Structure 1
Amino acid sequence: MRLAGKTAIITGGASGIGYAAVKRFLSEGAKVVIADYNEAAGSQALQQLEVDDEERVLFIQVDVSNPESVERMIEAVVSTFGGIDILINNAGITQDAMLTKMSIDQWKSVIGVNLNGVFYCTRFAAPYMVQQGKGKIINTSSIVGVQGNIGQTNYAATKAGVIGMTKTWARELGFKGICVNAVAPGYIHTSMVDKVPEKVLEKMVEKVPLRRLGTPEEIANAYLFLASDESDYINGATIEINGGLSI
């Protein structure tokens, strides 16, 4: 098993890409913390999982936009499992609007979760990785962070910021044995995409050379590779997974 004995925190782990990653990591022997704001979804996720040892998976309710909540979550993980080997900063939200119609609250809420949340989780988890001399941090960006997108000023800003933080932390933490990388998904079949009108979705798919949406499992597989020992010389990279959309 590729993650046997390792402890992984997956934010936004109760649904979508995060939940697919939870299942994949458990199948590879990891101890997994589902860190999510939605307590009902977290409880449901635990019930749905088929795990040989229930002590290998834990749900912790957390608001990643709140530093005190994040710090409590990190302390609980260390207290329960003794350390942190892998951090997947996967939690994210959208509040779309054109620039001139975007409210200040829409801007702040997306910045709070998608950008501040990544900083807070990494800020509080990294010292434990430094102490043990090794760790893997995977940040979820987006094709929108690479290319921009109409109606997503806030989202694009956060996802571009995630790439910048990833490159910075790779320099700061690399010599301490910690690899920091980003994954930039394209159009993935999640509940977020399900909200898109069918005609708009069809046009989105037409732009993808593979002519289909990606699956949460395909992103989870990339998380797994970057979290495993197989990627020990990959640091500061942004891996785009979009069916060729950016070529």
Structure 2
Amino acid sequence: MAEAAAGSRPPPDVDSDECLRAYGHLFSPDILAGQVAFITGGGSGIGFRIAEIFMRHGCRTVIASRNLQRVVEASKKLVAATGQQCLPLSIDVRQPQTIAAAVDEALREFQQIDILINGAAGNFLCPASALSFNAFKTVIDIDTIGTFNTSKVLFEKYFRDHGGVIVNITATLSYRGQALQVHAGTAKAAIGGKSAEEASHFDMIPLQRAGNKTEIAHSTLYLASPLSSYVTGTTLVVDGGSWLTSANNFPALLDFWAAGANKNH
């Protein structure tokens, strides 16, 4: 395969929930200076990296999750790596009262919230036949209803009077703004990591590789920044072109599900 063009090479990333060892700015380092972002699911995975990239561009953040210990530990890492403020809060996006309490605390701390990133997710990588009734309800409650709950609370408490940007990572519901659709093949960790790479499951993706969390964070940064000032109500698909060319590889999905099921027993 010919060497990939510089524009399609992945930026540095780390698999674990740790900050990047080094970072070279592609956007202006102060593109989010003076702003505050409220990030659900910000304590781990893609949400953690979004928080880090935002903070590296001058943004203060609120990272919210059901697991308070996780976001507290994540906050310490993010502050140490970026020098920006990060407020860890405990919420359950299925319970509007916990969202309201967290938004109130965030506003007491920062007096403003400019960006909402709906990143909280409850996902099960398995065929529908293996999905329980309760598991399906969990996905809907967190990814869809939770996205609505958080957006509505923040709209009523701040955005209605002051404006703001909403970017949804796990759902396409939005008051103003954008939805970022992350294909199942985007992050290695989501569909089997090195085993998927060794089995050539990425060969059908036009960019011939999986994406990484930093790439998702950069796409989110664009949508949340003034660079997308005339972009609204749209979906940005970040999957290396997979949705244009790749068939639904159901046998591979079954393999990943079986591997995970065996690992948990």
For Structure 1 versus Structure 2, the TM-score category normalised by the shorter chain is 0.7 to 0.9
Q: Are the structure 2 counterparts of residues 209 and 115 from structure 1 closer, same or farther at C-alpha, using a change threshold of 3 Å?
A: same
Query: Aligned ranges for residues 112-127 of structure 1 at < 5 Å?
Result: 112-127=141-156
Runs of 5+ in structure 1 lacking a partner?
142-161, 170-178
Determine if contact 1:16/1:190 at 8 Å carries over to the other structure: no
Q: In structure 2, what is the equivalent of residue 204 of structure 1?
A: 201
Bigger proportion of residues as helix: 1
Q: In structure 2, what is the equivalent of residue 21 of structure 1?
A: 50
Quote how far apart the aligned CAs of 1:100 are. Answer: 3.8
Determine if contact 1:26/1:51 at 8 Å carries over to the other structure: no
Aligned residues: 212
Query: Aligned ranges for residues 160-175 of structure 1 at < 5 Å?
Result: 162-163=171-172, 165-166=173-174, 169=175
Q: In structure 1, what is the equivalent of residue 191 of structure 2?
A: 193
Query: Aligned ranges for residues 122-201 of structure 1 at < 5 Å?
Result: 122-127=151-156, 128-132=158-162, 134-141=163-170, 162-163=171-172, 165-166=173-174, 169=175, 179-186=176-183, 187-189=185-187, 191-194=189-192, 198-199=195-196
Quote how far apart the aligned CAs of 1:211 are. Answer: 1.2
Q: Are the structure 2 counterparts of residues 221 and 197 from structure 1 closer, same or farther at C-alpha, using a change threshold of 3 Å?
A: closer
Q: Are the structure 2 counterparts of residues 117 and 96 from structure 1 closer, same or farther at C-alpha, using a change threshold of 3 Å?
A: same
Determine if contact 1:14/1:41 at 8 Å carries over to the other structure: yes
Quote how far apart the aligned CAs of 1:233 are. Answer: 0.6
Is residue 7 of structure 1 aligned with residue 25 of structure 2? no
Quote how far apart the aligned CAs of 1:25 are. Answer: 0.7
Q: 2:122 aligns with which of 46, 69, 93?
A: 93
TM, length-normalised to structure 1: 0.79
Quote how far apart the aligned CAs of 1:207 are. Answer: 2.1
Is residue 103 of structure 1 aligned with residue 100 of structure 2? no
Q: Are the structure 2 counterparts of residues 73 and 227 from structure 1 closer, same or farther at C-alpha, using a change threshold of 3 Å?
A: same
Is residue 41 of structure 1 aligned with residue 70 of structure 2? yes
Q: Are the structure 2 counterparts of residues 190 and 31 from structure 1 closer, same or farther at C-alpha, using a change threshold of 3 Å?
A: farther
Taking the aligned partners of 2:81 and 2:110, their CA distance within structure 1 comes to: 17
Taking the aligned partners of 2:222 and 2:58, their CA distance within structure 1 comes to: 14
Q: Are the structure 2 counterparts of residues 216 and 200 from structure 1 closer, same or farther at C-alpha, using a change threshold of 3 Å?
A: closer
User: Match of 1:206, SS?
Assistant: coil
Quote how far apart the aligned CAs of 1:84 are. Answer: 1.2
Determine if contact 1:95/1:106 at 8 Å carries over to the other structure: yes
Question: Which of 1 and 2 has greater Rg?
Answer: 2
Determine if contact 2:188/2:194 at 8 Å carries over to the other structure: no
Determine if contact 2:55/2:82 at 8 Å carries over to the other structure: no
Q: CA RMSD in A?
A: 2.1
Taking the aligned partners of 1:78 and 1:199, their CA distance within structure 2 comes to: 43
Q: In structure 2, what is the equivalent of residue 84 of structure 1?
A: 113
Q: Could you list the per-position Cα deviations for residues 181-204 of structure 1 after superposition, in whole angstroms to 9, with x for gaps in the alignment?
A: 10111223364334x682587353
Quote how far apart the aligned CAs of 1:8 are. Answer: 0.3
TM, length-normalised to structure 2: 0.74
Q: In structure 2, what is the equivalent of residue 239 of structure 1?
A: 236
